[in-house]
Amino acid sequence: MKTVLFNLTDSELEQFVVDMGLPRFRAKQIREWLNRGAPNFSVMKNLPIDLREKLATVADTMPVKIIKKLESSDNQTTKFLLELNDCEQIECVLMRTTYGNSVCVSSQAGCAMGCKFCASTLLGLKRNLTTNEMFAQVLTAQWELRGDKLKDIRPNGDANNNDVSHIVVMGTGEPLQNTQNVIGFLEQANKELNISWRRITVSTCGIIPGIDALNAWGRPINLAISLHAPDDELRTQIMPVNNRFKIKEVLDAAFRFSDNHNRQLMIEYILLGKKNSDGVIELFNATPEHAEKLSDLIRGHNVMVNLIPWNTVDERDFASISGNAVHRFQDILIKNGIHTRIRRERGADIGSACGQLRLKNAQK
């Protein structure tokens, strides 16, 4: 296996360079490229070409390698299929928005959670990602935005619009099954890329000890809970994790976190339909009664409900519901005084359902 230079400490990188018979200053040059997310050695313009070629035979730059890059027709969304050193595959998505550039990061290769509507979990969990493997996803997006141009910070401290400004840990995997590495990664992103805590969101299906660990960590990031059902009976049908952690306890832990950090809690709620035996789509978790029950759970708390139209996953027997049904659901929340938004799905044409790209590739 080739050495991944990004994973070496400064002194290890220097030793590596010296062992190749090169002067020490090459280590510093290489490090600068690695910190910008250089996808290969050929971009390292200040190294002699024969050295770049020699390095490529013995080493890799980053712990993730782009094997596919898809641009959405909206021109704002880029999806990367990335390969890790042990050939596992993960996804990462760059979304250019009016408020900044957001990267959706995967925390595990695969997922063990078994949610019935999701593609990420269909092939099971492969393994946790390391801190560097998560950080390298952000640098991959950063390179896409900026290439070899140096990061320039404006006098007021704001990064310009060619920088990653937001991180959402909402890719493949359950971040709170890999909490310590996720924390390490976010510390790195905050320190090295200047990404403020308030522009970071971690999404979980509701692992209570993990939420408590984030609370103890103490950084004022945003927390999102994938709720998707307003009562335990229904939730257990679609999310096995609900056998272990019940809705009320999950929400209590989440409210503790958001109150503690004075942040608005995000509740993610996919609106699911299901075909009955006559082929008619019935509302699964999206009736007016469900909307009322959901309101009762969160009324009086500082919460934003993010309503997510379901992305089709062929292997899953759910169905999308009509725009009218989505709005009827939302109107009830609004009537009950609850903040709510409908998530604009990005890049549906490039498989925006989580895990879809990795899955398709694995099945080939």
Instruction: Please identify every residue annotated as catalytic.
Output: 91, 354
Residue identified by tokens 């989440």 is: 254
Spatial CA neighbour of 350 closest among 73, 105, 25, 50: 73
- Of 14 and 133, the one with the shorter C-beta distance to ligand SAH is 133
DSSP-based three-state secondary structure for 98: coil
Least distance in Å: CB of 10 to ligand SAH?
33
Asked if 354 is part of the footprint of ligand SAH (rule: CB under 6 A), the reply reads yes
- Of 48 and 209, the one with the shorter C-beta distance to ligand SAH is 209
Say if CB 170 and CB 45 are below 8 A apart: no
CA separation for the pair 76, 148 (Å, rounded): 20
CA separation for the pair 83, 223 (Å, rounded): 28
- Of 270 and 303, the one with the shorter C-beta distance to ligand SAH is 270
Least distance in Å: CB of 203 to ligand SAH?
4
Asked if 121 is part of the footprint of ligand SAH (rule: CB under 6 A), the reply reads no
CA separation for the pair 164, 48 (Å, rounded): 30
Q: Within 29-88, which residues bind ligand SAH (CB under 6 A)?
A: none
Span interacting with ligand SAH, options 150-158, 159-167, 287-295, 306-314, rule CB under 6 A = 306-314
CA separation for the pair 257, 254 (Å, rounded): 5
Asked if 178 is part of the footprint of ligand SAH (rule: CB under 6 A), the reply reads no
Asked if 257 is part of the footprint of ligand SAH (rule: CB under 6 A), the reply reads no
- Of 33 and 80, the one with the shorter C-beta distance to ligand SAH is 80
Asked if 205 is part of the footprint of ligand SAH (rule: CB under 6 A), the reply reads yes
Span interacting with ligand SAH, options 54-62, 156-164, 275-283, 307-315, rule CB under 6 A = 307-315
Range list of H helices, 262-301: 288-298
Spatial CA neighbour of 118 closest among 345, 289, 313: 313
Asked if 311 is part of the footprint of ligand SAH (rule: CB under 6 A), the reply reads yes
Selected binder of ligand SAH within 203, 242, 258, 330 (CB under 6 A): 203
Selected binder of ligand SAH within 118, 229, 234, 321 (CB under 6 A): 118
- Of 184 and 240, the one with the shorter C-beta distance to ligand SAH is 240
* Size of site (CB under 6 A) for ligand SAH: 17
DSSP-based three-state secondary structure for 71: strand
CA separation for the pair 39, 147 (Å, rounded): 10
Asked if 310 is part of the footprint of ligand SAH (rule: CB under 6 A), the reply reads yes
Residue 248: strand pairing partners: none
- Of 143 and 329, the one with the shorter C-beta distance to ligand SAH is 329
Least distance in Å: CB of 102 to ligand SAH?
13
User: Side by side, which strands form the sheet with 200-204?
Assistant: 64-71, 77-84, 89-97, 100-104, 164-169, 200-204, 222-226, 265-271, 303-309, 339-342
Chain centroid offset of residue 328 CA: 29
Q: Within 264-283, which residues bind ligand SAH (CB under 6 A)?
A: 268, 270
Give backbone dihedrals phi and psi of 88, rounded to 5 degrees, phi first. -65, 155
Q: Within 208-227, which residues bind ligand SAH (CB under 6 A)?
A: 226
Selected binder of ligand SAH within 6, 33, 80, 117 (CB under 6 A): 117
Spatial CA neighbour of 135 closest among 82, 95, 86, 176: 82
- Of 17 and 182, the one with the shorter C-beta distance to ligand SAH is 182
Span interacting with ligand SAH, options 53-61, 64-72, 197-205, 297-305, rule CB under 6 A = 197-205
CA separation for the pair 161, 151 (Å, rounded): 10
Chain residues that interact with ligand SAH, rule: CB under 6 A: 113, 117-118, 170, 174, 203-205, 226, 268, 270, 308, 310-311, 313, 353-354
